């Protein structure tokens, strides 16, 4: 299941970033420092009571300001509201309710999105200070202190409870393919080319404010939805918000997608921004294929394809499962193979290994290469099972989790990949302690 997106909005200086840092700092999840993958501080994956979500911080809102900077921040928050599944509106108990709060609340009511009202800076709990916030018409206000961490649990309980209301619209069971990448990588050209095969288009939904166009179609008797997204731009020194807007739009498309088609301009090669986009896809646990476009414009010799494959593997070491394909959206070269390859990586992401087969495999791997000892202790893997799919997630029960070195976990992952086809999809290995006497 895609992780819900939770946006924090409100006027300036009400404690949004303090809350963001508090939640992320305590419950950080799936954040790894891969080489070349930088994370914007405004995004983080978090967990509360076993429910995972992506938390997004936004700048303070001054809706009636004419200042150009405030207009940028307003646009940023509007996109957050547009793409969010649940919104947390932050207000300030010390300054009380004001006109700016009412303006933002009106905007949120019109959005129709689930909203949780937080009244921050309530260091000493006083219910009388909450009464006036009922006037915002957003239901019960939750008094918290982000700085001291009080009341945050009750607030997050309410937030994750709202996830139950978030689901696919109209029970859409089509396979969703998100085409993501930098501007001018050929995303729209590829979409147009793909829609030429066995074309049975159900409808064309106009582009929304997220600059994403959803086009349902049928290919080989299977229903698909192609999501064409705006290019994810590199951060500019003058307009730093630009990347925020485009990444937030793409994040929404990536979260909705079953498979991500990552477009890279073969003429330019793999750039830092391409690596960052791949990092977003990887962190969301999505199966993907890497489409090297404009292959018709590349001067080739007998070693060209090997050089490109090597550059890809070096630049995307954290995605050693990638499935590259070299195409030309303009001429149609090999574009007919993209949908079949997308379906293959999706099947791999949904692959399930029986517990018996998995335990036999892990036992053979340990026999072939025993884990190194740490301070005289050696890791003992007692039992393994597959917890879920998409991405495939495995749990290893061991005598002591601290003895599992990252390199040995990677070795086990490689063993699993050699035994079973998980090409194109990330897999997760979790270690749990089991101290039962044998």
User: Which residue ranges make up each domain of the chain?
Assistant: 5-165, 170-349, 355-433
CB 76 within 8 A of CB 245: yes
H-state helical runs in 284-337: 304-315
pTM for the full predicted model: 0.69
Pairing of strands 288-293, 259-265: parallel
CA distances from 84 to 147, 208, 245, 260 (A): 25, 14, 13, 20
Q: Which CATH architecture does the domain made up of 170-349 adopt?
A: 3-Layer(aba) Sandwich (3.40)
Residue 80 pLDDT > 80: no
CA 20 to each of CA 7, 56, 124, 202: distance values in angstroms, whole numbers, following the listed order: 10, 8, 21, 41
- Under the banding of pLDDT at 50, 70 and 90, the label for residue 32 is very low
Confidence of residue 166 (pLDDT cuts 50, 70, 90): low
pLDDT at residue 247, as a whole number: 63
User: In this model, does residue 428 exceed pLDDT 80?
Assistant: yes
Q: Is 156 in contact with 23 (CB distance < 8 Å)?
A: yes
pLDDT band for 63, please (50, 70, 90 cuts): low
Q: Strand ranges (DSSP E) for 121-221?
A: 141-143, 175-181, 213-219
Q: Is there a shared CATH topology between the 5-165 domain and the 170-349 domain? A: yes
Half-sphere exposure for 34 (CA within 13 Å, toward CB): 20
pLDDT digits (tens, 9 = 90+) for 220-241: 888 998 887 765 555 443 344 4
Spatial CB neighbours of 330, under 8 Å, sequence gap ≥ 6 = 186, 189, 294, 296
The helix/strand/coil state of 14 is: coil
Q: Which of 69-83, 166-180, 273-287 has the lowest mean pLDDT?
A: 69-83
Pairing of strands 141-143, 115-120: parallel
Band the pLDDT of 374: cuts 50, 70, 90. confident
> pLDDT-derived band of residue 290, with 50, 70 and 90 as boundaries?
very high
Residues 6+ apart with CB under 8 A from 337: 325, 327
- The answer for 222, left when phi > 0, alpha when psi is -120 to 50, beta otherwise, is beta
Average pLDDT rounded to a whole number, residues 312-320: 92
pLDDT tens for each residue of 330-344: 898 999 999 999 999
Which of the listed CATH numbers 1.10.220.150, 3.40.30.10, 3.40.640.10, 3.40.50.300 matches domain 5-165? 3.40.50.300
Contacts of 14 (CB under 8 A, 6+ apart): 60, 90, 91, 92, 120, 121
Strand partners, 53: 46
24-38, 79-93, 102-116, 386-400: the lowest-pLDDT one: 24-38
User: What percent of the chain lies above the pLDDT cut of 70?
Assistant: 80
Q: What is the CATH number of domain 355-433?
A: 3.30.300.20
What is the pLDDT of the chain when averaged over all its residues? 82
- In the predicted model, is pLDDT for residue 265 greater than 60? yes
């Amino acid at each position: 299941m895609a992780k819900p997106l939770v946006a924090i909005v409100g006027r300036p200086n009400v404690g949004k970033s303090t809350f963001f840092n508090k939640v992320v700092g305590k419950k950080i999840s799936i954040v790894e420092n891969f080489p070349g993958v930088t994370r914007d501080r405004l995004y983080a994956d978090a967990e509360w009571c076993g429910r995972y979500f992506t938390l997004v911080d936004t700048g303070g809102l001054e809706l009636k300001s004419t200042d150009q900077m405030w207009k940028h921040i307003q646009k940023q928050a509007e996109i957050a509201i547009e793409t969010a599944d649940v919104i947390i509106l932050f207000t300030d108990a010390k300054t009380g309710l004001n006109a700016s709060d009412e303006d933002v609340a009106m905007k949120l009511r019109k959005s129709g999105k689930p909203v949780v009202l937080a009244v921050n800076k309530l260091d000493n709990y006083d219910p009388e200070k909450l009464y006036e916030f009922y006037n915002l018409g957003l239901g019960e206000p939750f008094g918290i202190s982000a700085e001291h961490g009080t009341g945050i649990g009750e607030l997050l309980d309410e937030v994750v409870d709202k996830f139950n209301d978030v689901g696919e619209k109209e029970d859409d069971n089509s396979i969703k393919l998100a085409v993501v990448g930098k501007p001018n990588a050929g995303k729209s050209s590829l979409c147009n080319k793909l829609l030429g095969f066995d074309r049975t288009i159900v409808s064309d939904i106009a582009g929304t404010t997220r600059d994403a166009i959803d086009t349902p179609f049928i290919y080989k008797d299977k229903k698909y939805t192609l999501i064409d997204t705006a290019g994810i731009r590199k951060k500019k020194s003058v307009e730093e918000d630009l990347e925020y807007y485009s990444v937030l739009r793409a994040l929404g498309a990536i979260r909705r997608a079953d498979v991500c088609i990552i477009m890279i301009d073969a003429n330019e090669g793999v750039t830092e921004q391409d690596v960052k986009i791949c990092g977003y896809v990887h962190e969301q646990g999505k199966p993907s294929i890497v489409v090297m476009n404009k292959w018709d414009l590349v001067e080739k010799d007998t070693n060209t394809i090997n050089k490109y494959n090597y550059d890809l593997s070096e630049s995307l070491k954290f995605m050693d499962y990638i499935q590259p394909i070299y195409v030309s959206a303009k001429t149609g070269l090999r574009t007919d193979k993209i949908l079949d390859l997308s379906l293959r990586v999706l099947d791999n992401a949904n692959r399930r290994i029986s517990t018996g087969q998995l335990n036999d495999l892990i036992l053979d791997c340990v026999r072939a290469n025993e884990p190194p000892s740490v301070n005289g202790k050696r890791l003992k893997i007692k039992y393994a099972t597959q917890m879920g799919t998409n991405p495939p997630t495995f749990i290893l029960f061991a005598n002591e989790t601290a003895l599992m070195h990252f390199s040995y976990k990677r070795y086990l992952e490689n063993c699993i990949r050699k035994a079973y086809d998980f090409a194109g999809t990330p897999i997760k290995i979790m270690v749990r302690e089991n101290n039962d006497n044998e």
